Amino acid sequence: MPKVKIKINDVEYEVEQGLSVLDAAESVGIEIPHFCAHKYLKPAGLCRMCLVEIKGARKLQTSCTTPVKEGMEVYTESDAVVKARKEILELHLANHPLDCPECDQAGDCLLQKYYDEYGLYERRFDIERTHFEKDVILSDNLILDRERCILCQRCVRFSEEILGEKLLAVFERGSRSYIATYNDEKISTLYSGNFAEICPVGAITDRRFRFKIRNWFLIKKESICPLCERGCNIYVETPKDRPYLKNYERLQRISSRDNPEINKSFICDRGRYELFSLEENRIYKGISEMEEVGWQKIKKILKEHLFTIETVILSSWMTNEEIDLALSLFKDYLNLKNIYFWGNPAGDEDEILIKKDKNPNSYYLEHKKVKRLNSKSRIDFKGSTLIFGDFFRENEFVLKKIEDESFVILISPYIPSFPEKINLLIPSANFFEKEGYYTNFEGRIQEVERIFENDKVKTEFEILEMIESILRKK
Ligand code: SF4
Ligand code: SF4
């Protein structure tokens, strides 16, 4: 990409040609306050908060709509800019209800942030604030507080530019303007949670997160969404470890993490809301013949049955490293021929993010030449079988195909759907309790951080190491 030389606050920088002044400044680490501008939306120049001084220009310019030019000299913090910023903030806050103490966005709100940085004025308006509806239900997941809205139109542009649908618009004019859906219909999209995330203030908030916990008590950990093969980048938000927060659930919110190559800064509602079910139906104890068993007993049973295994069914929720170790043990060392993986049934797909293949690591398994099973596979399993379970627990098909006299070992974080078919259940870590790498549908390898510690269970990798130690001591 060709570069141009510009000066920002008297310091020379080389920036990409074609960028707006706002994006160019950001690319060299200089933040220009803004509400309406968004990395993945077209510039609108609506909020005026990003005004900057450009040498030679008669008036201050909106940095989001002004492209950089060779030799341009920009001032982002001059007296004129700071004065304008303060006045614009005063206008944005003229009718604002100032209900930060009960607003879910508090601590993460651009109005609050910029008021602290540039506002700090005495209110000069001596008029009654304009009142609007404060609890408009936009969808099952969203609520709109029109009094908090600053009319930046990010929500309108997100729906038109990213979703390709006109779901919202600005109605009326001047100080009576407000955001609404057409005919007051509820928003219906698989991407609804992004409206709350893209709103820079607390106007659109997430009903599922409402009044749950304050933003400043949350820690964001990096992960990916495993619910389809795209592997959208996400933050898993969990409460800070504080004595009086002891009773909070460890998983509080899933939000998007910017990755221009994979999901930009958006995720679908499945990733945002359905990942909570990964925390349900957990099992923390081993079970053999309907009795609870500890790790010593599990090892003993494994020793008795490992060498009778003829079929191994891997899971597409295993990491690259777990798959590699499993293949080195069962394919290379034991020379087993019947190694498959269970592919969760294909689902819907769209042109935005959602992929048909609902498996997080099927690309890697297929790349390693592991055959995919589905409900049409014509296979009958013989001999003892080792199954790596996954979140969907839809292994009914697999279990039905296994001969009744076979010894079945299931390694799974979840209570099995058909416990009567399992001879040994080994409890394993769920997706949030392990770390490693996954490969998405384009072959991009992505790292997953361990979000939660859980010493009651072992990761599939640790269980495979246990199996390895048994095999090699034979
Ligand atoms: S609801 Fe939020 S995103 Fe939409 S216009 Fe108002 S402030 Fe902007
Ligand atoms: S598009 Fe796929 S990977 Fe992305 S959030 Fe949705 S289900 Fe998860």
Mean pLDDT of the chain: 93
Q: Is 110 in the pocket of ligand 1 (CB under 6 A)?
A: no
* Closest ligand (CA of 138): 1
The confidence score (pLDDT) of residue 392 equals: 59
The confidence score (pLDDT) of residue 122 equals: 76
Q: Which amino acid, 197? A: E
Q: Is 111 in the pocket of ligand 1 (CB under 6 A)?
A: no
Atom number in ligand 2 closest to CA 227? 7
User: Alpha helices of 138-208 — where are they, by DSSP H?
Assistant: 154-157, 193-198
Residue from 419, 397, 406 nearest 341 by CA: 397
* Closest ligand (CA of 349): 2
pLDDT digits (tens, 9 = 90+) for 340-381: 998 777 899 999 999 999 999 999 999 999 999 877 777 777
- Is the confidence at residue 106, as pLDDT, over 70? yes
Q: Is 361 in the pocket of ligand 1 (CB under 6 A)?
A: no
- 213-220 average pLDDT score: 94
Which domains are seen in the chain, by residue range? Answer: 3-92 (3.10.20.740), 129-278 (3.30.70.20), 286-472 (3.40.50.740)
Place of tokens 């199954």: 387
- Is the confidence at residue 32, as pLDDT, over 90? yes
- Joined together, the tokens standing for residue 54 give 């450009």
- Is the confidence at residue 203, as pLDDT, over 80? yes
pLDDT digits (tens, 9 = 90+) for 142-183: 999 999 999 999 999 999 999 999 999 999 998 889 999 998
pLDDT digits (tens, 9 = 90+) for 258-292: 999 999 999 999 999 999 999 999 999 999 988 99
Q: Whole-prediction pTM value?
A: 0.94
- Is the confidence at residue 306, as pLDDT, over 60? yes
Q: Is 225 in the pocket of ligand 2 (CB under 6 A)?
A: yes
Reported confidence tier of residue 247, pLDDT bands at 50, 70, 90 = confident
Say how far apart CA 452 and CA 136 lie, in whole Å: 36
What is the full DSSP assignment across 177-188? Answer: -EEEEGGGPPP-
Say how far apart CA 444 and CA 235 lie, in whole Å: 18
Nearest CA to ligand 2 atom 5: 271
Q: Is 152 in the pocket of ligand 1 (CB under 6 A)?
A: yes
* Closest ligand (CA of 356): 2
- Is the confidence at residue 334, as pLDDT, over 70? yes
Q: Which amino acid, 286? A: G
The confidence score (pLDDT) of residue 207 equals: 96
User: Residues 6 or more apart from 418 whose CB is under 8 A from it?
Assistant: 395, 396, 399
Largest CA distance in the chain: 87
Reported confidence tier of residue 389, pLDDT bands at 50, 70, 90 = confident
What is the full DSSP assignment across 37-98? Answer: --TTS-----S-TTEEEETT-SS-EETTTPBP-TT-EEESS-HHHHHHHHHHHHHHTTT---
Say how far apart CA 86 and CA 410 lie, in whole Å: 63
pLDDT digits (tens, 9 = 90+) for 6-27: 999 999 999 999 999 999 999 9
Place of tokens 């279990």: 399
